[in-house]
Amino acid sequence: MSEKGRFRQFLSRLGPGLVTGAADDDPSGIGTHSQVGAQFGYGLSWTFLFSFPLMVAIQEVAAEIGRVTGAGIARNLRRHYPRWLLVSMVSLLLVANIINLGADLAAMGAAVGLLIGGPLGLYTLLFGVICVAAEIWMSYERYSAILKWTTLSLFAYVAVVMVAQVPWGEALTSLVVPRIEWTGAYATAVVAILGTTISPYLFFWQAGQEIEEQKRHHVKPLCLTPKEAGPELKRIRIDTLTGMAFSSIVSLAIVFATAATLHANGVRDIETSAQAAEALRPIAGDFAFALFALGIIGTGMLAVPVLAGSAAYAVTEMFGFAGSLDAKPRKAKLFYGTITITTMLGVSLQYVGIDPAKALYWAAVVNGVLAAPLMAVMMLIAHNRRAMHSLTLSTRATVTGWIATAVMAVATIVFFATL
C-alpha cells in the first residue's frame, strides 16, 4: 500500500477519540488557556505535557467501557452500582454541561459580534437552534463526518501562532523546565488547566460514540466477541492518542499565542475567549484577531453538540432507554428532548443576567466535584468482570488510569482549598 493509501486508512480509523479531543478545546477552554497565557506567559506550558498521558489514559478507559460492554457509563452505573450514585453523577453532569453550553454559545455569539457587529443574543440563539437541528435531523454517519471535518477549525490557532512572533527557544524550554510559583493564583491556574483538559462530559461522549460506531458497523460488543478485541483496542488507542495529542497541541498554541502577544504587552487579565480575540487585534493585527474569532465559532460548533449529546446519553441510560444520534426523533424522544432542553437552557442563561465568566467558574466547581469520583467509578467498571467479562483493563491502563484519578483528586482538593 502506498503512503497516501496508508494515510487515508489512518484517517478513516479516526473517529470518537479525534472528535472528543477536538471538543476539549471548546470556547470556554480557549478562554481558560488565553488567561493562562496572558497571566503567566509560557510559565504553565509544562502542564499540557504533564496532563497529556492522563487525558489519554482516562479517555481510553471511557472508550473501552463503551466498546467492550456495548453500554455507556450511565448504563453501566445503572446495572452494577447503587442508584443514588447514578442519579447524583448524572445530575452534576447536567448542571455543569448546561452552564458550559451557555458559556460556549455566548462566546460564539460574541465572536460573531466582534467580526460583523449586531445583536449578540440573536446570534447565540441561532447557534443553539442550528446545533440542535443538526443533531436531530442528520443521520449519525453524516453528522459524525461533519464533526470530524469541523476539527479542522482548530488549525486557526496554529495559524495564529505562526503570526504571533513566538520566541520558540523560550516557549519550547517551558515545556520541560517548569517555572513553579508558590502562589494561590498559580495553583488555581494549574487546576483550571486540568479541569478543562479532563472533563466529565468527554467521558460520557466518547463511550457513547463507541456504541454508535459499533451499531453503524453492525458488530457486537467485544465482551461477546473477545477474539476481535486486539485490533479494536489498538484502534481505540490510536484514535484516542491522536485526538488528545491534537487537543494538547492546540491548547499549547493558544497559550503560546497569547503569551507572545498579550502577556508580552502587559495584558494580564482575560476572562473570556471573545475578550482574548478582541485584545489580540491592536497587538497582533486584524488577521490574527479574525483567525482567533473564527476559531471560537468553529470549536463551538464542535463542542456544543458534544456537551448536549453527552448529557443525552447519560439521561437516557439513567432511565434505561437506548439513545442514539442515528435514531429517528419519534423513537428517541427523551434523547433528542435532552439535547434540545439542555441547549436551550444554555442559551437562556444570557437572558437572566448571568455573567459568563462567573458561570464558568461555577461549572468548574461542579466538574471538580464530579471528575475524580466519576473517574474512580469508571476504573471500577473497567475492572468489573460482570461488565467487562474477560476484557478488564490491562496493567498499563490500570496504572495510568488510577494515576490520572489521583491527580484529579488532588487538583480538586487544591481547587476547593483556594476558593
For the chain (length 419 residues), average pLDDT per consecutive 10?
Answer: 60 74 84 90 93 94 96 94 94 92 90 90 94 87 78 83 89 90 84 86 93 89 92 92 92 92 88 83 84 88 91 95 85 94 93 71 75 94 94 93 93 79
Q: CB neighbours of 357 closer than 8 A, spacing ≥ 6?
A: 31, 271, 272
The one-letter code for the residue type at 407 is V
Distance separating alpha carbons of residues 32 and 318, to the nearest angstrom: 31
What is the per-residue pLDDT for 311? 96
Alpha-carbon distances of 27 from 124, 199, 256, 357, rounded to whole Å: 13, 14, 17, 12
Handedness of CA 309, 310, 315, 316 (dihedral sign): positive
| Residue 3 pLDDT | 60
Report the pLDDT value the prediction gives residue 15, as an integer from 0 to 100.
73
pLDDT (0 to 100) of residue 1:
59
Q: How far apart are CA 24 and CA 214, in angstroms?
A: 23
The predicted structure's pLDDT at residue 330: 86
CA 332 – CA 322 distance, rounded (Å)? 8
Cell numbers 458497523 correspond to: 217
Q: What is the pLDDT of residue 65?
A: 97
The reported pTM is: 0.90
CA proximity to 22, closest of 140, 150, 108: 150
